Amino acid sequence: MRNGLIGIVGVSVLASAMVTVGCSGSSSPGGAGGSSNPGNTTGSTGNGGSSGVGGNTGTNKCTSVTPCGGNVVGTWNVTTSCLTVSGDYNVALGGLGCATVPATGTLQTTGSLIANTDGTYTDNTTTTGTINFPLAPNCLSISSVLTDCARMANIFSALGWASATCADTNGQCNCTATANQSGGLGLISSVASTNGAYATSGNTLTIDDSLKYSYCVSGSNNTLTVTPQLGALSGTIVMQRENTTMPGTGGAPGTGGAPATGGAPATGGKSSTGGVAATGGQQGNTGGKTGVGGAQTGGVTNAGGAFTGGVTGVGGAATGGKSGVGGAATGGTGTKAGTGGMTSATGGISATGGSGTTLKGPCDYYAEGNTPCVVAHSTVRTLVGSYTGALYQVKRASDSTLKDIPVGAGGFADSSVQDTFCTGTTCTITKVYDQTGHGNFVEAETPDSTVGGHAGMTAAKATQEALTLSGHKVYSLYTTSSQAYWRDGSKSGMPLGSAPQGIYMVTSGKHFNTGCCYDYGNGETTRTYVAGPSMDAVYFGSCTIWGTGAGSGPWIMADMEDGMTAGTSGKNNNNPSQTATYITAIEKNNGTTKWALKGADATTGKLSTYYEGSLPAGKNPMKKQGSVVLGSGGDCCYSNNTASAGTFYEGAIVSGYPSDATEDAIQANIIAAGYGK
């Protein structure tokens, strides 16, 4: 699906802003005289009274402020904000047919901002307000697909707005968008956060490498002014450092307090006694439990022999490692058949001497079903039993050094390598490697990557989401708007034209949006819109512009270009909302006559079929071009940006139309991986 033509440097339309202005709130009465200081400190004199503020003006007036920089460390409470929307603001990130629309409105920011000495922040602000704007006839399309006025409202949620409505009035489409955003400090943004990292340079404060403000710290005041970018938003947010008093203006000065009389000399503080000496930490566990009768213990049961294999057994005891399941586990003197797993497990792992090294992943089951993987990506585990290479690559912000993250124990990502490498700085994920041997790794579509990307496209934060799989700490590929990954696989095994294709991915029902389009699959090689069934991908999100499932979403749908489909035309009530933390999403298409959608909780239960039947009108035959897309539509993101967001843990693209039995084995293997356990 097609996305916006112009990037917003990681910020939604209202980060397009200009002018340096301040706000003056209602004035208060004149100040009172100071009081004498009690004599509790030697030689202290009373402070003069706080200067009062002139009479109440009854208005909230913006005045000019000159950025001056300064130290922002501290807790800052918002005292006044005046943010005005007036003029053209950019909507290209939403993929509309027009780049800008004329908007008017106001925003208000309340709350506090905590800036820590280590460069991290906590944003406890809330920004509310409304804007109004008309949509001209040339605006009424999303991703080059004509859309009626009422359906246009859905896309604005992906740009950070809490809600939006659009209605046709006498042939004119008029829209209202409402803000109620936590974090973001006054900028309505799809990437607004309540915590993260900040940096200052000169007179500019940058939050999370995307939201920018010019600012001035003067005494106890911190005035943040939106950096000029693309127009429409102007104004400032005025904050006061906590536990300080803002000097008043215009009131009668308070009279000086009576001088303090000499107090008793301060006595020395109580001497501190030495702290209790720290004792050595408890020794780490060594080895596994002693096997009884040769049976291995301490292992996690895995279906179908998935991802296990004990370490060296001692006298029948498995020390460390996890027991192989489905195959015979032999350790030292005694033997006992592996337990658990599917009753029809194929080729269970044989852990000989407690040191099994053979793993079995989804692509091994696909291969057994004669539908081999041509692409296999994951940041959390191996998907091919024999794979021993790196899973993904990270880039360190402090020196731009790259590091491959390898496979660790049990076939899971060795996150300790990333943690060590990224200590004291931040890292992004630049590549996710292909485990099939076809070389179809995907790379962040950024201006400085080898695949290139539009201005404003960034790589995903490497530590945005940590989770556990069977007790192993790993990290997901957690993308927000203006983040996506791509590779041209048309000459390296990707299905082309009407060739059959299957896809699965594990994603999350807790991180998604309405943007177009969080896809994983087969897209255009030019990264530009090509009408017709030029792509074939599984989609996950809550976009309602073309098709929906039951409830409010998110849903598993298919993107074959020119709009997503939930299975039937319009709404498919057999396609439920997916709210579990970990979701298995499956789409398959034989390219000429039929296709299907399936899904399940990735931690338990069997797959459900939401649709299987004829291809939609105009999609027979398919005309796939063979690029690999992850996190965006097929026509992104070389000359445009994506508004989509989502989480990717693992996935594969296969050649052929997988059988139901094969896909059932994939789901069992995913469950055995132990997401969230």
CATH of the domain at 594: 2.60.120.200
Does 138 share its domain with 230? yes
> Dihedral sign, CA of 329, 334, 335, 341?
negative
Q: For residue 591, which of 569, 562, 556, 558 has the smallest C-alpha distance?
A: 558
Within a domain: residue 625? yes
d(CA 6, CA 346): 50
User: For 129-133, 152-156, 237-241, 306-310, which range has the lowest pLDDT when averaged over its residues?
Assistant: 306-310
Tell me the mean pLDDT in the region 512-520.
Answer: 95
Residue appearing with tokens 């999350």: 508
3-class SS of residue 553: coil
Does 235 share its domain with 119? yes
d(CA 534, CA 384): 29
Residue appearing with tokens 């979701």: 583
3-class SS of residue 124: coil
The band of 226, judged by pLDDT with boundaries at 50, 70 and 90, is low
The band of 82, judged by pLDDT with boundaries at 50, 70 and 90, is confident
3-class SS of residue 545: coil
Within a domain: residue 277? no
Mean pLDDT comparison of 95-104, 342-351, 589-598, highest-scoring range = 589-598
User: For 104-108, 222-226, 608-612, 619-623, which range has the lowest pLDDT when averaged over its residues?
Assistant: 222-226
Is 663 a catalytic site residue?
Answer: no
pTM for the whole thing? Answer: 0.73
Q: Which of 524, 635, 650, 663 is catalytic?
A: 635
d(CA 644, CA 560): 17
What per-residue confidence (pLDDT) applies to 212? 85
**Predicted confidence (pLDDT) at residue 658 exceeds the cutoff of 80:** yes
Does 489 share its domain with 436? yes
Residue appearing with tokens 């990502």: 413
**Predicted confidence (pLDDT) at residue 271 exceeds the cutoff of 70:** no
Does 569 share its domain with 637? yes
**Predicted confidence (pLDDT) at residue 331 exceeds the cutoff of 80:** no
* pLDDT tens, position by position, 378-392: 999 999 999 999 999
Tell me the mean pLDDT in the region 250-262.
Answer: 42
Secondary-structure percent of the chain, ordered helix, strand, coil, rounded to 5 = 10, 35, 55
DSSP string, 571-635: EETTS----SSSEEEEEEE-SSSEEEEEEEETTSS--EEEEEEEPPTT-SS--B--EEEESS-TT
What per-residue confidence (pLDDT) applies to 650? 98
What per-residue confidence (pLDDT) applies to 231? 58
Query: Could you list the residue range(s) of the whole structural domain that residue 176 is in?
Result: 13-27+57-241
Q: For residue 81, which of 37, 126, 114, 45 has the smallest C-alpha distance?
A: 126
The band of 63, judged by pLDDT with boundaries at 50, 70 and 90, is low
User: For 174-188, 213-227, 331-345, 591-605, which range has the lowest pLDDT when averaged over its residues?
Assistant: 331-345
User: For 70-79, 85-94, 313-322, 362-371, which range has the lowest pLDDT when averaged over its residues?
Assistant: 313-322
Within a domain: residue 1? no
**H, E, C per residue of 391-457:** CEEEEECCCCCEEEECECHHHEECHHHHHHHCCCCCEEEEEECCCCCCCCCEEECCCCCCCCCCCCC
Q: State the total domains in the chain.
A: 3
d(CA 626, CA 487): 9
> Quick one: tokens of 83?
């943010």
> Quick one: tokens of 611?
């649709």
> Quick one: tokens of 164?
């939006």
Within a domain: residue 476? yes
Is 561 a catalytic site residue?
Answer: yes
Q: How far is CA 400 from CA 65, 403, 424, 442, in A?
A: 36, 10, 14, 19
239 or 600, greater pLDDT: 600
Residue appearing with tokens 């050649």: 655
User: Are 321 and 630 contacting, i.e. CB atoms less than 8 angstroms apart?
Assistant: no
User: For 329-333, 363-367, 429-433, 664-668, which range has the lowest pLDDT when averaged over its residues?
Assistant: 329-333
d(CA 524, CA 629): 9
532 or 580, greater pLDDT: 580
The band of 452, judged by pLDDT with boundaries at 50, 70 and 90, is very high
Q: Which residues have a Cβ under 8 Å from the Cβ of 334 and sit 6 or more positions away? A: 291, 293, 294, 295, 316
User: For 249-253, 395-399, 520-524, 598-602, which range has the lowest pLDDT when averaged over its residues?
Assistant: 249-253
Does 352 share its domain with 388? no
CA angle 439, 437, 427 (to 5 degrees): 55
Does 319 share its domain with 435? no
Does 318 share its domain with 402? no
| Cβ burial, residue 282 (10 Å; 0-12/13-18/19+) | exposed
The band of 244, judged by pLDDT with boundaries at 50, 70 and 90, is low
What per-residue confidence (pLDDT) applies to 474? 98
**Predicted confidence (pLDDT) at residue 502 exceeds the cutoff of 90:** yes
* pLDDT tens, position by position, 169-215: 999 999 999 999 999 998 888 888 899 889 999 999 998 877 888 88
- Phi, psi angle pair for 205, to nearest 5°: -105, 125
Q: Which residues have a Cβ under 8 Å from the Cβ of 141 and sit 6 or more positions away? A: 96, 97, 147
Q: For residue 310, which of 318, 406, 392 has the smallest C-alpha distance?
A: 318
Domain termination residue (choose one: 241, 266, 293): 241
d(CA 436, CA 428): 24
What per-residue confidence (pLDDT) applies to 64? 60
d(CA 650, CA 468): 14
Output DSSP code: residue 118.
Answer: T
Percent of the chain with pLDDT over 90: 59
The band of 54, judged by pLDDT with boundaries at 50, 70 and 90, is very low
Q: Give the bridge partners for 89, in sequence order.
A: 101
Does 144 share its domain with 202? yes
Tell me the mean pLDDT in the region 512-522.
Answer: 95
> Quick one: tokens of 495?
């299905």
Q: Which residues have a Cβ under 8 Å from the Cβ of 501 and sit 6 or more positions away? A: 495, 521, 522, 536, 588, 589, 591, 624, 653, 654, 655, 656, 657
Q: For residue 306, which of 366, 355, 361, 351 has the smallest C-alpha distance?
A: 361
Percent of the chain with pLDDT over 70: 72
Q: How far is CA 291 from CA 37, 351, 410, in A?
A: 75, 14, 20
What per-residue confidence (pLDDT) applies to 339? 37
Mean pLDDT comparison of 85-94, 238-247, 332-341, 535-544, highest-scoring range = 535-544
Q: Which residues of 597-636 are buried (b: 16+ CB within 10 A; e: fewer)?
A: bbbbbbbeeebeebbeeebbeebeebbbbbbbbbbbbbbb
What per-residue confidence (pLDDT) applies to 645? 96
3-class SS of residue 90: strand
**Predicted confidence (pLDDT) at residue 78 exceeds the cutoff of 90:** yes
Does 422 share its domain with 468? yes
- Mean of the per-residue pLDDT values for the chain? 79
> Quick one: tokens of 179?
């803000």
Does residue 517 have a cis bond before it (omega within 30 degrees)? yes
Within a domain: residue 33? no
Residue 128 CB: number of other CB atoms within 10 A? 15
648 or 53, greater pLDDT: 648
Tell me the mean pLDDT in the region 432-449.
Answer: 97
Strands 548-549 and 571-572: parallel
Q: Which residues of 351-362 are buried (b: 16+ CB within 10 A; e: fewer)?
A: bbebebebbbbb
Does 210 share its domain with 312? no
607 or 456, greater pLDDT: 607
d(CA 618, CA 597): 18
d(CA 127, CA 177): 13
Does 472 share its domain with 436? yes
Q: Which of 561, 562, 587, 663 is catalytic?
A: 561
Alpha-carbon Rg for the chain, nearest whole angstrom, is 30
> Quick one: tokens of 382?
């191996």
Tell me the mean pLDDT in the region 312-321.
Answer: 34
The band of 143, judged by pLDDT with boundaries at 50, 70 and 90, is confident
**Predicted confidence (pLDDT) at residue 483 exceeds the cutoff of 80:** yes
Q: For residue 17, which of 199, 231, 215, 171 has the smallest C-alpha distance?
A: 231
What per-residue confidence (pLDDT) applies to 664? 98
The distance between the two most distant Cα atoms of the chain, rounded to a whole number of Å, is 96
Within a domain: residue 416? yes
The distance in angstroms from the start CA to the end CA of the chain is 35
What per-residue confidence (pLDDT) applies to 93? 84
Domain termination residue (choose one: 356, 371, 398): 356
What per-residue confidence (pLDDT) applies to 126? 97
What per-residue confidence (pLDDT) applies to 125? 96
Tell me the mean pLDDT in the region 643-651.
Answer: 97
Within a domain: residue 651? yes
Residue appearing with tokens 């000086």: 256
Does 193 share its domain with 335? no
575 or 271, greater pLDDT: 575
Q: How far is CA 585 from CA 57, 288, 538, 642, 665, in A?
A: 60, 36, 7, 21, 14
Mean pLDDT comparison of 25-34, 119-128, 336-345, highest-scoring range = 119-128
Within a domain: residue 4? no
What per-residue confidence (pLDDT) applies to 428? 97
